Each structure stands twice: as structure tokens, then as C-alpha cells.
Amino acid sequence: MNSLKDKKALVTGGGSGIGKAIVRELAAQGAKVLIHYYKSKESAESLAAEVRASGGDADIIQADLSSESGVKELSRFVEGKWRNLDILVNNSGDLVARHKLEEMDMDFYHRVMAVNLDSNILVTRAMIPLLRKSGTSSIVNLASLAGRKGGHAGSIIYATTKGAILTLTRSLSTELAPDGIRVNAVAPGLILGSAFHAIHTTQEVKDATIASIPLHRAGSCEDVARAVVFLASEYDGFITGATIDINGGVYMA
């Protein structure tokens, strides 16, 4: 459909899972996509090659988003490549591991906060000047059903960071609206095909969760990607400060 033809999009954590699906959907709509990765270089390179083979425009960049110096390097790369930015998708994040509050140390706490919240704030802050240059631009944050409901046992800090992302989205939408920058979020539930649930969710929990979903199925990475691209593509639109829940009806705000 090319609804995003020649728009410039940065997807953090774009080399695998939900991020990969978002990259594919953005590219299918005509966007030029910069795929950020931290460790998954081979996957990111393969995805970029796939996009280019289909006639799209994709490049990759490695950066540690929990580090101010890493984010500054990313920002310099984006500015040097494009001068401005139309779409920022803050997709990077991880549960890291399941630890109940009594079991965790502060090093673990700070690591989860850095991966999920600090990185979002650092990247967004660095990209605001580039987004502002576009006149009308969009930020889409990846939150989670855990941020709505609190998550399963052992995910307390992850759920806390995702709840913070929901609040951050609303606050930033007000702060950045005068600059023509819309800020929205998606909050996925059980999404099969993502590394998160492949690593951190047992089959027993997956089965029980699916049984409780009114639509009687788990979500897919593509379900999330379509919602992200909808929010990203509504240029000069009226949607900002919103969160789309993608959970099959388990939770409705």
C-alpha cells in the first residue's frame, strides 16, 4: 500500500521476534528502515538483506541502548544518514529472568530497569531533535499486558518498567504535541514467536493463558506489527497518548 513511502523509521531491537515483524511491515508500507540490534547481528543482517531483496531500503546499526555513549553514537549515525527521523519504534526490552522480590539483588533490579526503561528514555531523548525536524512524526512504545495487570510471578520489575512505559507515553504525548510528534504505545499479551515467551514462559503457562483468552488463540508478532504501523502511519492525525491492547480480550482498559 506504500502508506509510509520514503518515511524514515528506526526500530530498536529490530533483528528478531516482534521487532523483525515490525521492520517487515514498515518496509512493506514503503518506509526506509534502520534496524537496531545489540547482539543479533546475523539476524539483523539477514532481515536487512530480505527487505532489500524485496525492493525496500534497510540498514543495520549496533548499539548498547542502556549506555548514554551508545545512544549518542546511534543518534549521530541516524543524523548522518538521514538528517531527520519520521518514526521511532522503541521495541527493545527483556524480562532478563524471573525473580520474585525476595530473591533478587539490586544488580538484577538495575539491569532490568536499564534494559526496559532507561533505554527507552535515552533513545527517545536523543531522537526528539530529529523527529522535530520532520514536522509530523511518531513514536510508538512497546509496553506489555504485564504493565496493565502486573505480570506473572517473578516478573515484578519487568512489569513495573512496562507500567512506567504506559505513563511515559501519556506524559510525552502532552510534552511533544506542540512539536507535531505523536506518542502512542501497544501493550501485547501472549505473543507466540517472540523470544520473550519462548525463553521465559513455560508451555503449561502458555496453554493455561490461551484457554483464558476470549478469542481462543495466542497473538502473533504480525498482530503487534500491524498495530504499530497503524499508529506510526497516522500522519497529521489525532491519535496521541493512546495505548492499543493486543491480548485477544484478556484485558480491556
List, by residue number, the catalytic residues: 158
Cβ atoms 185, 244 nearer than 8 A: yes
Contacting residues for 252 by C-beta, under 8 A, at least 6 apart: 245
Residue whose C-alpha is closest to residue 76's, from 11, 129, 138? 129
Q: Supply angle C-alpha 158, 91, 42, rounded to 5.
A: 110
DSSP string, 172-189: HHHHHGGGTEEEEEEEE-
CA dihedral defined by 8, 10, 11, 16, rounded to 10 degrees?
Answer: 80
Rounded-to-integer distance, Cα 120 and Cα 159, Å: 15
**Helix axes 221-233 and 17-28, enclosed angle (nearest 10):** 50
β-bridge partners, 66 = none
